[in-house]
Chain A
Amino acid sequence: MNNNPEENENQEDKPNASSIVEKIQQLGQSNIPQAPDSNIHVLSIIGQVEGHIQLPPQNKTTKYEHLLPQLIAIEQNPKIEGLIILLNTVGGDVEAGLALAEMIASISKPTVSIVLGGGHSIGVPIAVATDYSFIVPTATMTIHPVRLTGLVIGVPQTFEYLDKMQDRVIQFVVEHSNIKEEKFKDLMFAKGNLTRDIGTNVVGKDAVAYGLIDQVGGVKDAMSKLTEFIGSNDSAEGGVIQ
């Protein structure tokens, strides 16, 4: 297992590297043949959105501290012309989720999201943060009230804090999608749709009918929409490119 044949041409590896870590560092600097640069980058948001507290390791998580710098890099790199967000998330930390959503919403480059499988809870504001959102017909989005996990100290204050946090989520979704605030709240506080819980599980077409998501569609639709956005950006900029 140790003696894999080296595939890299410009290998600077010394045969007697003292430790495997050094080897990895050296490999990291070697010239690996580059695939052609893609002008569209992909950000996948999977599992739990992890916030300030690291979740136990059996959770599959998306860490905001990884994604936020990547979003800045995408904004800065002139070779990247568009961004696709792939969502299959069960929700997670409210502040980390809102941070991601705000970052995606404030990127100047065209962005498109696809909700695959599930875009639950805090996945909803992330999905609607893009310029245009898609949902595949089988995907679902659970909309339910914000709740607290962990220790509760000072119940009235905590309740108010939760309520404000919930308002921030609602405001963000209403501002970045076509859903009416009342409709979103209706879905959020609906009884009888979820077993032993309040809220609504919105499936593909319904999400579009409520105005939450722009269109039912998959990869093909998302790519053509993004290409269309990139095309109109290019023509708006005119001929002068430095």
Chain B
Amino acid sequence: MILYTPLAQHEIFPDDQEGFSNVEHIAYGGRMIYAARMKDGTYQVQQLVSTDPQDYLRAEFSPGSILS
């Protein structure tokens, strides 16, 4: 793998790799979403992966909203 970036290696591959592990990609409403799984089993939207700008105006896809 060749990384072409001005960042140093330790910035990309830190020694301490903890946290963020509860983030999964899930399909919801036909869109791909990065969502964090909460302790109660629900998902909280972190990021929407879509090329349609109108999707980003939809409340259920906005970051922080809970998918129940």
Contacts and interface: CB of A to CB of B under 8 A. Distances in A.
Interface residues of B, number: 39
A230 interface: no
Contacts of B52: 37-38, 41-42
B42 A20 contact: yes
A2 B42 contact: yes
Nearest to A165: B2
A197 B8 CA distance: 11
Contact of B20 (A37, A57, A199): A57
A242 interface: no
Interface residues of A, number: 57
Interface of A: 1-4, 7, 19-20, 23-24, 27-28, 32, 35-38, 40-43, 48, 51-53, 55-59, 66, 70, 73-74, 83, 90-95, 97, 120-122, 142, 144, 146-150, 162, 165, 169, 194, 197, 199
23 contacts: A1-B38, A1-B40, A1-B42, A19-B41, A24-B43, A27-B28, A48-B3, A48-B5, A52-B1, A66-B49, A70-B51, A73-B51, A83-B51, A93-B3, A94-B3, A121-B4, A144-B6, A147-B3, A150-B1, A150-B9, A169-B4, A194-B6, A199-B6
